[in-house]
Amino acid sequence: MIQRNKISFAICALAICNTLSSNAQSILPPVIDWHGKSEALIAKPNNPWITAAEKSDFVSTPDYNTTMSWLKKLSAASPLLTMISIGKSVEGRDIFMVIASTEKNITSAALKHSGKPLLLVQAGIHSGEIDGKDAGMMLLRDIAFGNKKDLIKNVNFLFIPILSVDAHERSSPYNRPNQRGPQNMGWRTNAQNLNLNRDYAKLDTKEIRAVIKVINGYDPVLYMDIHVTDGADYQYDITFGGLGLQGNSPGIARWLEEIYKPSADKDLKANGHIPGQLLFALNDRDFSQGNILIAGGPRFSDSYGNLRHMASVLVENHSLKPFKQRVLGTYVLLESTLQLLAREGQSLKAITKADRAIRDAKVPMAWKVPQMENAVNFERLADIQQSANPAIAPDSMVFAGIASRLVKSSVTNADYIEWLGKPVTEKIVNYKGTEPIDFITRPKGYWIPASCEEVIERLKLHGIKMDIITQPREVVVEMYRIENAKLEDENHKAQPYEGHIQVSGTTKSETRKQLFPASSVYISTDQPLGDLAMMLLEPTSKDSYFSWGFFHSIFQRTEYMEAYVMEPMAKKMLEDSPALQKEFEEKKAQDKVFADDPNAILTWFYSKTKYYDERYLLYPVGREL
Ligand SMILES: [Zn+2]
């Protein structure tokens, strides 16, 4: 009886909750009716390999167990498909990958040896943005048992159906209120509440570590990461691209712009889709002030790929288009990509090889564009809009938009956008940050002391080649003393970000003869991942291990002198040096706080003795010039 009462209370509470938060799906902006040739890709109801999403008429998407047991069955039934685990999540789920290949031997070495271009596609890095999984399942079915076998005749295809496997099971109809289906969506961050698409540089998560292992093992010629947008309304259903003219792989960037994009656009259009470039509203609301293309740094999959000279395509399907339309568009894009790689894969390989041979004498640590992740910093965007800086080069584009109007809110009293569902074509400003900034001179290599175990381990995981010394070695290196350190994130907020307290500061160089103990490592920058090594090891890089907080221990001074030692010593130092006496008097005159702080005064004298901790604020990585 008591239990029944409890249950009815729970149901009642749930009912109230549902009434209070009305269904977001019914509030979304109007949808434009869509039909396209790609609808013919949907399996007939009597097809024994119909996918769960097709069966539901794209109302829902299958859970992890259903997805994996279906793919296991499919792989077992086809000699063209093999399913392997590439790692386990923190909650113990296997992260599976399907290898589609006509090769008999499908080890990474054998596939590399085959000489065929290899495409790596991952879905569900943000597990609620799951279109890639359902599209990939359909495509693999058609490769195995339909009429698409030829797609892998000259290309090897690796497909990760769900990357963020734990978050995929944190499924709910309430997870992505701005997205039009499926009815059950996974969570954005993994079980540790970390965003996998901010983890490519630091490598905290098992999921991204698993992907990097695949990248290092199979060396894909093209890497695709499939998402669904949030934000503004427009006509495009499938938006995708590389970094444009930003980034460290000029040949690859041109190939993506000039070869890949036109080819994929053509195929998407021929199948009834509306392809577009990656779109990010400058004002984070609508496109009245233009679009801006962002290079976010190697914490993101596309920037990371670019930095290691691997063609990388970010796909952002439009969240306000129906799930069916998005999945079918993704299928077309995948098929188009495989077809293009069969034709142009070798040319991309050659271009990739050339980009990997570049050793610029100076490497930019950033590109001049505002940070726009999470909450947009309107102040900085306003600066950009008003700036006459040619770095933020405006260009214009013909934009297939959706009409909107500003509505006065009765809740906040501010204006908000209402999307009206009517297509409009307009010319808008298209900002591109193409100016590299914060250049660092390329050293011959980096010396990392054995004490930085965790950083060395992560550099190894990236596939960066290193020499480990077995005997201590004294080396003349340039080292940085960190000044003006601030423990805050890039938006100047002193709060944790992705589980880290970030730090920034300025660097002052010192030339030192430094002893590196046995087990220290040397990393030459004369390697294809040399630029990546620089981005991870230069403290001024926003994605360096320094910035992510892996070197916080240098901010602590651990040895000290007692006053009964320091007082007489300071007195003697003043007697011995009139210059020091003068400097001391001037400092006191200029700095009242210092003059009134006996501790600060003694520390000042201490810092001028040989007893002072000379490693205080010293970034322990050495640059060999
Ligand atoms: Zn995403």
Q: What is the pLDDT of residues 138-167, one digit of tens each?
A: 999 999 999 999 999 999 999 999 999 999
CA of 111 to the centre of ligand 1 (A): 30
Residue 275's Cβ-side half-sphere holds a number of Cα atoms within 13 Å equal to: 22
CA of 477 to the centre of ligand 1 (A): 41
CA of 137 to the centre of ligand 1 (A): 20
CA of 229 to the centre of ligand 1 (A): 6
- Residue 28 phi, psi (nearest 5): -55, 150
CA of 485 to the centre of ligand 1 (A): 32
For the CA atoms of 202, 205, 207, 210, what is the dihedral angle to 10 degrees?
60
CB 249 within 8 A of CB 306: yes
- For the segment 63-74, the average pLDDT, to the nearest whole number, is 98
**Other residues' Cβ atoms within 10 Å of the Cβ of residue 191:** 19
CA of 129 to the centre of ligand 1 (A): 6
Burial class (CB in 10 A: 0-12, 13-18, 19+), 397: middle
> Which band of pLDDT confidence, cut at 50, 70 and 90, is reported for residue 378?
very low
CA of 443 to the centre of ligand 1 (A): 35
pLDDT at 375: 32
Please spell the DSSP secondary structure of 262-319, one letter per residue. HHHHHHHHHTT--EE----BTTSS-STT-EEE----TTSHHHHHHHTT-EEEEEEE-T
> Using one digit for the tens of pLDDT, what is the confidence trace for 326-374?
999 999 999 999 999 999 999 999 999 999 999 999 999 988 764 443 3
CA of 395 to the centre of ligand 1 (A): 26
- Statement: residue 469 has pLDDT above 80: yes
Query: Rounded to a whole number, what is the distance in angstroms from the first to the last CA of the chain?
Result: 79
CA–CA dist 524, 400 (Å, integer): 48
The continuous run of DSSP H or E covering 366 comes out as: strand 362-367
More confident residue, 62 or 431: 62
> Which band of pLDDT confidence, cut at 50, 70 and 90, is reported for residue 26?
confident
CA–CA dist 166, 124 (Å, integer): 11
CA of 295 to the centre of ligand 1 (A): 15
> Using one digit for the tens of pLDDT, what is the confidence trace for 289-303?
888 887 789 999 999
> Using one digit for the tens of pLDDT, what is the confidence trace for 238-272?
999 988 877 899 999 999 999 999 999 999 999 99
CA of 239 to the centre of ligand 1 (A): 13
CA–CA dist 6, 8 (Å, integer): 6
CA-to-CA separations, 270 to 36, 132, 336, in angstroms, rounded: 9, 20, 11
CA of 230 to the centre of ligand 1 (A): 8
b or e along 501-538 (b: 16 or more beta carbons within 10 Å of the residue's beta carbon)? ebbbbebeeeeeebebeeebbbbbbebbbbbbbbbbbb
pLDDT at 74: 98
CB 96 within 8 A of CB 160: yes
State the pTM of this model: 0.92
pLDDT at 22: 60
pLDDT at 4: 36
Please spell the DSSP secondary structure of 179-196, one letter per residue. S---SSB--SS-TTS--G
Burial class (CB in 10 A: 0-12, 13-18, 19+), 56: middle
Q: CA nearest 518: which of 450, 428, 598, 580?
A: 450
> Using one digit for the tens of pLDDT, what is the confidence trace for 85-120?
999 999 999 999 999 999 999 999 999 999 999 999
CA of 212 to the centre of ligand 1 (A): 18
Q: What is the average pLDDT value for the chain, to the nearest integer? A: 91
